[in-house]
Amino acid sequence: MPIVLLVRHGETEWNRSGRVMGDQPIPLNQTGEQQARTCAGILSRIPMAAIYTSPVLRAVQTAEILRQPQDIPLRQVPGLREIGVGDWINRYWQEFAEDPAKREWYTHPDRARPSGGETLREVQQRAVAAVEQVLDSAQDTPLVFVSHGDVIRAILAHYLQLDLATLRHARIDHVAVSGLDLTGSAAQLLFLNHRPGLD
């Protein structure tokens, strides 16, 4: 199996203001576009067959910028979409900082569920299934998946055989790249939250 590179989407104005987007079509802001262009310059040195992305707008926009230097195909993968946040959508995180449901979401992400949303375990199941489907037909070139912070944490937790609550503490910044080597019998973490262009 190949090297897998997991990239979080670029920044949006809703990220900056602390507002819950869910899977709404919120576009990248200028900072997010620049973040993606910087990352594209780094990834352009790596031969890739395609880029696989969440179908959510901010991820698609990021992936489109990443693919341009090599002019490679872009494929939307529904299993990589943002976690379902249910009734939290459109609210500001600070509005319900003390909500017991939110606290449990961070401490027990495998079972906590926003009303009308998903648990992180459910996200992990669909995201890993999506990655595995791509891996089944992959060539021996690095694979790039563009998704969202919690989705990337869930994928990392699966392949590294770590508890979801532990990986919930991993920092995944905008357009940061995390790398896994899946060529052996056990996955190896190559790097976590690398931010191209930053010292």
pLDDT in tens, 70-99: 999 999 999 999 999 999 999 999 998 788
Summarize the confidence of residues 148-174 as an average pLDDT: 95
Sign of CA dihedral 86, 26, 157, 185: positive
Distance (Å, whole) CA 114 – CA 49:
37
| Cβ atoms 132, 187 nearer than 8 A | no
- Check: CB of residue 40 under 8 Å from CB of residue 68: yes
CA distance 25 to 108: 28
User: What confidence score (pLDDT) does residue 84 get?
Assistant: 96
**In residues, how long is the chain?**
199
Q: What is the pLDDT of residue 10?
A: 98
What pLDDT is stored for residue 1 in this prediction?
62
Structure tokens at 193: 């939250």
State CA 31 to chain mean position distance. Answer: 18
